[in-house]
Every structure is written in structure tokens, then in C-alpha cells.
Structure 1
Amino acid sequence: MGAPVRVVLVHGSQLSGAQWWRYAALLGPDVELAVPDLPAHGSRRDEAFTWERALEVVGDAVEGGTPGLPVVLVGHSLGGYLALAWAAEHPRRLAGLGLLGASAVPAGPGAALYRAIAGVEQRLGVDRMSRALDRQFAALLPEELAHVIKEAGYGFDGIPAAWAGVMGRCRPEMLADVTAPVLLVNGQLDQLRVDVRRYARAARSARWVRVVTVRHGLHVFPLTHPHETAAALWELVTSARRPSG
């Protein structure tokens, strides 16, 4: 076993901390794992989503562990953009930053992707979206994981506010002063990877930057390709154990 590291995994929109159900075993016993639920999701489903409150939840997860442990902050999709925003406000706090499926610039033409996601979900409504996600995860995931995610429930009410925050606030240049190593992981078939090189260039203060593409991965690759994702994250964990210098 190595020196302990705290890893905070922030889920994507609609889902909850349950999406990381397999990661405690994959990352190992010397990792202190935190999987917070964002406002309007999971155990906080009845709480209104605001960008400020979401960043507060992320910050509580970063600071809430064993004192003195190095912290690696990782987010998927919406969680990735929130991790980016939190790191930009605390550029020297983290020992590692991982952005998963969060490498598209949510402005200009690229914002159409985000508006389309939010628009479709709102038109379908909660019941139809829930059934659609149940079918999707039943087809893509092991039965036990699909059941865990279904039981945790989906969050839809916060989507307009969440993605408005992403589109209005998040840009690659927010990485400029982050000193921690930066890992950018995307599915090969995920449209939200289109600006990954711009994100990598923006992280000019990072100790190192690595871009990883998960072969055949869709946007939900952290769920469908957990071993590949955990292997990429392990580089951040290993780096966090080494003193900077």
C-alpha cells in the first residue's frame, strides 16, 4: 500500500455519486474516496441547483477528508466543468485534477451541443427520460451497476441551471494558473472531446498534462470502461504521492 490520497469524484448531470460505485475497489484501499451528490441530484435531489451551491458541495468534499492528505479532484461531464471551476478558484490547492468528458468549449458553435442536450431532456419530461436512461444503462452496463444507478435515481430539475452555468462560465483558459497535474480523459466517440488540445495548451502552469482517449468510449465511458478510466486516474494518484519540486 502507498501513502493515502483523497480522491473526489464528481458525477455528471442526471446521475449521482452512484455512478462511481465500482471505483472504490478499482482505486484500492489506500485511496480515501469521496463521491458527493450535486444539488438537484441523488440525495440532494430536492435541493435547487445553483452554480455557487454546486461549487460549495465540491469544496466540502475536497476539504472534508483526513487532514493533510493530498487531494485529487476528478469530474465527469457537468462534474468535470465544476471541477475545472473549483480548481480555477483554488489553483494551488489540489494534487491532481482530472476532467473526464469535459473537453469541449461550451461557447459559440460548441454550445449547440449543450443546448441540444438540455432541450431534449426538458421536452421528454421526467418519466420518459427516466425510462430512456433505464433502457440505456440496462443495455450498456452490468446488471448490478445498472440497478444501483436506477435505485439512486436521476436528477433532471437542475439541468437548465447547470448547463447555463457551464455555458456562461467555463472556458479552457480557467486552467491557466492551476499548478496540479492535469489529466484530460475522453471517450473516442464522445463529441465533447473536440477541444481537448485547447484545454491541454491552456494548462500552462500544470506540473504535467496528459491527454487520454478511451477506445470505443461514448460520453458515459467512466461507467462503461471503468478499468481504463481508473488506470488513467491512477497516474494522478501516483503523482499525488510524490512531493512536488
Structure 2
Amino acid sequence: MRADGLGDPVTGLTPAPDRPGIWTAGPAEGIPLVLVHGIRVSARMWNPHAHRLAPRFRITAPDLPGHGTQRDRPFNLEEAVERVGLAVDEAALATGRRPLVAGGSLGGYVALAYGAAHPVRAAAVLAQGSTARPDRMTGFVYRTIARAIWGLGPARAARLNDRALQRRLPPDSYRAVMAGGLTMHAFVEVVEDLTRRDFLNVAGRCRLPVLFVNARSDRLFRAQEREFLRAVRATGGYARLFHVPGAHDMSISDPAAFAGIVERGYELLSGARPDAFTTGPEGTSR
């Protein structure tokens, strides 16, 4: 890793030239992969995964609005989808192929929304911990947390989160998360936005192949997993659901396991829809 903590061009995340808030890792010959981060963290959280997945994968990771380098931009789902779109375009231009778009929790919801809005730019979607409707019980739980953060104040909430993450996360993941910073105000903005959305409807509009992955113990975010699966399939879409060991926040609490899920997910999705991964969308050039 470089002394500045940004990694090296092959295995660690580096800023994409002339693309603010977009991070990349791995060679152009790698399998294109867009990774979408979770709530209150940033794209820098993917650095441990980049070290595990590159050079087989060529990774692009965007900072979502309200997070990381984009912390001063208010969060809304439409702009988050646009940020993923910038990353998808970067990945396609760099590799000449459509990328797999993968994310956990908030990142999974945004990846699913991207698939609904843009049915041909990416190859497939992998959504982990993203099969509960935010407008239902999950939203109530997260609105309660958001009110607590509002009462504590973002600065104090960030300090408490820092201590909790330091205890819970492996050292490489903690360093990566903190390198991008915690933006607790984004938690409130995300909850306010997502609890107004019907993500079951979003799933029904997704035309890309979808792999839903849930931790067996993650009862809250498994609440409507079968409904999400049926929603994609109801309109002729390809969707599968898998359960794995771990926790809802496995993308940061167990980066090795999440990297393995991405690798296995790619094998399953590319086997099911090999044509989607072979070439970029019309008009894409290297």
C-alpha cells in the first residue's frame, strides 16, 4: 500500500482521473465490477475487498451523495443512481464490457434501483441485505435510529460509531472505513428518502439478472425476501436468492467473506447470462 493510504494501481483503490468521487482498482483486463457502499461510510470501505479481488476483477467504486467526497451533496435516490451510472460508464469504458453492480444494505438498494432505471448498461446486480421494504417495519427501526442521531448531534454520533466500529471491524476494514470518514448526517437523509420509496416496485422494474444474498441471521432485512424474488421474476426477470453465514453488515465486518460472495455471485450470474458479460453496451469503446 502507498504511504498516503490510497493503495496502488493493481490492488488498492485510487482516485479515477477527472472523475471526482470515483475510485478504481485492478487492470483493464479484469472482470468489470462496480461496488456500491453502505450508509454513512464511503467508497473507501472497499479497499480491503480490492486487495482480495484484484487483479481478477477491475473495480470501480463511487461515493454516493452525502458520503465521502460527496458529503456536501444532499442524498436522494435519483442522484445516487446517477453516481452509480458514472461508475458503470467508467467501468465499461475501461474494460469494454458491462460490469456486475454489487452492494450491501444501502448499496444493494441503490444497485437495484440502478438496474430498474438502466436495463442495458450493466450486466447484472448483486444485492446483499436489501430485501426489506424501507416503507415498512425496517423504516420504523431506522427512523428511530435517525432520531437518536439527530438528538446526539452528528459529531457525537460519529465518535460513538467510531468506537463501535473499532471494536467490531477487522483492522483493515476499520482503517478503510475511517479513511473515507463517517457522515452521520447522511444517515438521517438516507432514512428520510428511502422510507418514502416502494422498493418492491423498484425490484419489479429491474430487468437485469439479480442475485439476492442475505445473512441467515439478518431477520430484519430478510423480511420480504421472497416478495422481492417474486417481483423480479413476475415480469420475466432472472432472480435467485441465497442465504449465507454472517451479519447484515458483512461487507465491512467480514470483507473476506463478502469478497468471496462477489466471486461466487459472478460465477453464478455469468453462467446464467454469459452474453451479458461479454461485450459493452452499444457505443462503448475502449
AA paired with 2:63?
A: D
State which of 241, 246, 249 in structure 2 corresponds to 1:211. 241
- Residue 77 of structure 1 and its aligned partner are, at CA, apart by 1.6
* 2:196 is equivalent to residue 162 of structure 1: no
Gapped regions of structure 1 (runs ≥ 5)? none
- Alignment equivalent of 2:161, drawn from 114, 129, 133: 133
> Residues 171 and 41 of structure 1: is their aligned pair in 2 closer, same or farther, counting only changes over 3 Å?
same
User: 1:61 aligned to 2:90?
Assistant: no
How far apart in 1 are the matches of 2:263 and 2:224?
24
The gaps in structure 2 that reach 5 residues or longer are 1-26, 277-286
Match of 2:21 in 1: none
Partners of 1:181 and 1:15 in 2: how far apart? 27
| Residue of structure 2 equivalent to 1:77 | 105
**RMSD between aligned alpha carbons?**
2.4
Q: 1:85, 1:170 within 8 Å by CA — same for their partners in 2? A: no
**Native 8 Å contact 2:169 2:252 kept in 1:** yes
Q: What's the counterpart of residue 228 of structure 2?
A: 199
Give the AA of the match of 2:130: A
Name the TM-score, length of structure 2 as normaliser. 0.76
Task: Write the distance in 1 (CA, Å) between the matches of 2:231 and 2:38.
Answer: 23
In the alignment, residue 98 of structure 2 is paired with which amino acid?
Answer: P
Q: How does 1:21-100 map to 2 (within 5 A)?
A: 21-67=47-93, 68-100=96-128
- Counterpart in 2 of 1:101? 129
Q: Distance in 2 between matches of 1:122 and 1:76?
A: 24
> Which amino acid in structure 1 is aligned with residue 244 of structure 2?
V
Query: Which segments of structure 1 move beyond 3 Å, counting only runs of 4 or more?
Result: none
Q: Secondary structure at the match of 1:12?
A: coil
The residue identity in structure 2 corresponding to 1:96 is A
Residue 211 of structure 1 aligns with an amino acid whose one-letter code is: L
Map Cα deviations across residues 47-78 of structure 1 (whole Å, 9 max, x no partner). Answer: 22233322211111111224331211112222
**Number of equivalenced pairs:** 243
Given that residues 212 and 232 in structure 1 are in contact (C-alpha distance below 8 angstroms), is that contact kept between their aligned partners in structure 2?
Answer: no
SS of equivalent to 1:150: helix
| Structure number with higher relative contact order (C-alpha < 8 Å, ≥ 6 residues apart) | 1
Match of 2:207 in 1: 179
Find the partner of 2:270 among 221, 233, 240: 240
Aligned residue identity for 1:243: D
Deviation at 1:177, TM superposition (A): 4.1
Which residue of 165, 168, 175 corresponds with 1:147? 175
- Give the structure-1-normalised TM-score: 0.88
206 and 50 in structure 1: CA distance in 2 versus 1, 3 angstrom threshold: same
Amino acid paired to 1:106: P
Q: Which moved more, 1:38-47 or 1:163-172?
A: 163-172
Change (3 A) 1:136 1:163: same
How big is the shift at 1:161? Answer: 2.8
Structure 2 distance, partners of 1:4, 1:150, is: 27
